[in-house]
Amino acid sequence: MASAAELVKAFMRGAAQQVYVVTARGPGGGYAALTVSSMTSLSLNPPLILVCIDKSSRNHQVLVEAQHFIVTLLSSEDEWVSRVMAEPGDPLEKLRRVNYVEGKYGPMLPIPRPYLVARRWAVYDGGDHSIIVGEIIEGEAPQVRCPLIYYNRGYTTIQGC
């Protein structure tokens, strides 16, 4: 019989999830840049989102300490960006590979891409992950024609895009 952790992994492989990139600049000047599928809207009043970050990730410390973080929604044309950001390695080097821009609140993927800037609201313990809640302070939401989806350990998109 599979362990509970293996059961959760198998279950989640069957859940198609939107792909995002989360970026931040920490108070000490360090950077965070990673691909996530664990992001959700939490509240509209106030406008809150949450992201879940593995505590063993090299990006974890920067993200839990940063005053702001940026979430960018990826399209099917951005699969290469997702792959770069999912690689292990120095976050600043990954950002350079995707031609990031230094924004007021931290590093950003070049626009036009849908993005939200969040001010850290709270950080909660979530087992082997931290749950980072942020209050939206700005962003842009141009329509994504074909969103990038992660499903069953691979990338796909919505049929008919």
CATH number at residue 128: 2.30.110.10
What's the whole-model pTM score?
A: 0.94
Q: Is residue 143 included in any domain, yes or no? A: yes
Q: Is residue 8 included in any domain, yes or no? A: no
Q: Is residue 95 included in any domain, yes or no? A: yes
Stretch 43-69: mean pLDDT, rounded? 98
pLDDT of residue 70 exceeding 90: yes
d(CA 53, CA 30): 16
Q: What is the pLDDT of residues 78-123, one digit of tens each?
A: 999 999 999 999 999 999 999 999 999 999 999 889 999 999 999 9
SS3 4: helix
Contact 155, 79 (CB under 8 A): yes
Q: Is residue 6 included in any domain, yes or no? A: no
Structural domain that includes position 97: 19-156
Which pLDDT score is estimated for 85? 98
Cα angle value 71/105/112 (rounded, 5°) = 50
User: What distance lies between CA 113 and its chain's CA centroid?
Assistant: 13
Q: Is residue 119 included in any domain, yes or no? A: yes
Q: Which residue has the higher pLDDT, 70 or 153?
A: 70
Q: Domain total for the chain? A: 1
| Residue closest to 21 by CA, chosen among 66, 58, 73 | 73
What is the maximal distance between C-alpha atoms in the chain? 50
Q: Is residue 96 included in any domain, yes or no? A: yes
Q: Is residue 2 included in any domain, yes or no? A: no
Q: Is residue 1 included in any domain, yes or no? A: no
